[in-house]
Amino acid sequence: DEAEAKARQALEIREKLARAKPERFEPDWAMSLCNYANRLGAQGRSDEAEAKARQALEIYEKLARAKPARFEYDFISSKMFAAQCGWLADKQPLATEYPIAHHSTPRQQRMLDYRRGFFAAFAANEPTRIREAIGKAEGCWAAMDASQRRSAEGYGLLLAGLAESQQIVSSLTSNWREDLARFRTQRKGRLPLWMQEVARRAGFSLR
């Protein structure tokens, strides 16, 4: 996979730089680890993705302790991603509790709350709790800017699929099948395997 190869190459470069000058390049290294983990997850390589995500989390945790105002958001976001990878690798239940943000901007907080809603929706078993979680995520989605929506589109499509499968009325389901088709076309007909696995575990299909 070309995208995975490029992400791996970028990771190797940034790791080398970070080991030489950690104070300058560790943030870039952590970001590259997350990017590479995401590529691995798209290929269904869940164990490898989880390992890279955990490595990124360790770096971000250290950075956030030293400079919380700068790295708190990255740490919490990385913790969420590592938990997602761990769940998909069958190493832990899907976590729904995460640190409270004290230094994040309102824009960053919306994204964190959106992902909290996503995790709560897919971890819940009761229809009422699923509906509540989707409602919270829906409110965050409505307030997101275009850039945030693009970065979170995979999560949005999964929430829409879950809402439809549970017969929950939600603005997220409006034209979601068309959005899914476009999303798939943009990826040359291949949906990320992590998305397909999340849908499978929730009892619906992205076909």
Tens-digit pLDDT profile for residues 187-203 = 999 999 999 999 999 99
**What's the fold here for domain 1-99?**
1.25.40
Distance, CA of 121 to CA of 190 (rounded, Å): 25
Closest CA to 52 of 88, 104, 22: 88
Give the pLDDT confidence score for residue 1 in this predicted structure. Answer: 78
Tens-digit pLDDT profile for residues 16-41 = 999 999 999 999 999 999 999 999 99
Ranges of each domain in the chain: 1-99, 105-207
Residue 21 neighbours by CB under 8 Å, 6+ apart:
none
Q: DSSP states of 98-140 as a string?
A: -PPPSS--HHHHHHHHHHHHHHHHHH--SHHHHHHHHHHHHHH
Q: Going residue by residue through the chain (207 aa), what tens digit of pLDDT does each one get?
A: 788 999 999 999 999 999 999 999 999 999 999 999 999 999 999 999 999 999 999 999 999 999 999 999 999 999 999 999 999 999 999 999 999 999 999 999 999 999 999 999 999 999 999 999 999 999 999 999 999 999 999 999 999 999 999 999 999 998 999 999 999 999 999 999 999 999 999 999 998
